[in-house]
Structure 1
Amino acid sequence: MAADFPLLDVQGVTFSLEDRELLAPVSLTLNPGDFVLLTGPSGSGKSTLLKIMASLLDPTAGHLLFRNQDISQLKAEEYRQQVSYCFQTPVLFGHTVYDNLALPWQIRQQTPTRSKLEADLVKVNLPADMLDKKIDQLSGGEKQRVGLLRNLQFLPDVLLLDEVTSALDEDNKTLINHLIKGIVQDNGVAVVWISHDPAEIHQAQRVLQLETPERKNHEPA
């Protein structure tokens, strides 16, 4: 029997810093397999919203419920394994590509096979022999794909993507689009994706347009 509450429920969330409103009130419900495209002008708080949803920032007002539980009552480490945030400019750790792809396994006290990680690299059009390549030798597009693969080693319930194809050429953008679409369709992962790319907007089920707080506050009631 399906649950009668959303997977993730964002209820009137706002964010302010030093009395300056950076995110006007936003509400959003996510269920398994939802694909939401998040767009809006610079300064509308798109990345701020994803960071709040990922429990990397605390909202100034509003609530987030994960499986009907307020996320403030959940252990952050466990929540972030189920709601995964992929940065536009990924924060890569260690020295090599292997170090990064193995990290989610090590957190779970497991060890991946090299053949598994090599196959993952090929899926995103990276050479299988890249595992031992140094992080500081990667291009921006390579870093984005390694960061995304790291987040996908163990599929989360919710995947938050912050312009993760911005450094890619059109062929690799298309490849990543198909990969994410397949994850949604085949595994029921809910995705919220910040993007301005028409192809990415087209494949979303819903589009949530954010406005800057100044504009939102001047909208007629």
Structure 2
Amino acid sequence: MTTIECKNLSFKYEQDYVLSNIDFKLKTNSLYVLKGDNGSGKTTLCKILTGLYDNYEGEIYLENRDIKKMNRDELLNLIFYSAQLTPVFSDTLSNNIFLDSKITKEQENKYFKMIKFFSLDELEEKEIIDDGSVSGGQKQKIGILRALFSNKEILIFDEPTANLDKQSIKKLVMIIKKLKETKLIIVISHDNTFDCIASEIIKI
């Protein structure tokens, strides 16, 4: 079972602490919703977990290993972080979603189902897409699908509904509800969208 444990975690930018004495333990088959005011450190926490920042105080254990003793590749083999702003590269839709991963026949079949589910059919018909040719909502869906097809044990979604319409939000809730049966999922959210399916709500 995959676990993340934080003990007395604190982090500061220059002199100001954005995280102070945070304690929690997360496990697989669960959805954790991180909530807090703007600037409370939610995104910072996720960047710490993915190895972007290592100058924190306290301890973080991933599968009982101190993450300061793990290199970033090891962390990223376990964790996929879907950021608020999804970069889109000048390439096909499928390459934007799978990145450098090889695609199996099973994944290919699932891919076509998911792009239809999330109404990305029109982008699939284009030979090339880029950052300027897709909407904010489409970028967000591409980021979500990157996470889904990453096959990582831990999925982190940073404000995944920010640019989605109501119908797409309902679809995302359905997907995450299913995913939490086998994954450890962290969602940063400013609203109550995921509260009804959350295993735990963590306020920061």
Q: State if a TM-score over 0.5 links the two structures.
A: yes
Identity %: 25
CA distance in 2 between counterparts of 1:167 and 1:72 reads 34
CA contact (8 A) 1:30 1:190 kept: yes
Q: 2:117 aligns with which of 115, 118, 123?
A: 123
CA distance in 2 between counterparts of 1:34 and 1:156 reads 14
Q: Which residue of 1 aligns with 2:199?
A: 205
Write the mapping of 1:6-25 to structure 2, written as runs, cut at 5 A: 7-25=3-21
Normalised to the residue count of structure 1, the TM-score between the two structures is 0.82
Note the alpha carbon deviations across 1:179-203, whole angstroms, 9 max, x for none.
Answer: 0110112xx2011111123231222
Tell me the matched-pair count.
200
Which sections of structure 1, spanning at least 5 residues, go unmatched?
Answer: 211-221
CA distance in 2 between counterparts of 1:205 and 1:99 reads 33
Q: Which residue of 1 aligns with 2:48?
A: 52
Normalised to the residue count of structure 2, the TM-score between the two structures is 0.88
SS of the counterpart of 2:155? strand
Write the mapping of 1:62-101 to structure 2, written as runs, cut at 5 A: 62-101=58-97
Q: Which residue of 2 aligns with 1:151?
A: 147
CA distance in 1 between counterparts of 2:89 and 2:77 reads 17
CA contact (8 A) 1:97 1:134 kept: yes
Structure with bigger helix share is: 1
Q: Which residue of 2 aligns with 1:178?
A: 174
Alpha-carbon spacing, 1:77–1:60, altered in 2? closer, same or farther (3 Å):
same
* 2:190 paired with 1:190: no
Alpha-carbon spacing, 1:62–1:93, altered in 2? closer, same or farther (3 Å):
farther
Q: 1:138 aligns with which of 134, 153, 165?
A: 134
CA distance in 2 between counterparts of 1:154 and 1:128 reads 23
CA distance in 1 between counterparts of 2:184 and 2:98 reads 24
SS of the counterpart of 1:199? coil
CA contact (8 A) 1:40 1:46 kept: yes
Note the alpha carbon deviations across 1:47-67, whole angstroms, 9 max, x for none.
Answer: 111111122222420121111
Root-mean-square deviation (CA, aligned residues, Å) is: 2.0
SS of the counterpart of 1:147? helix
Alpha-carbon spacing, 1:74–1:16, altered in 2? closer, same or farther (3 Å):
same
SS of the counterpart of 2:193? helix
CA contact (8 A) 2:123 2:129 kept: no
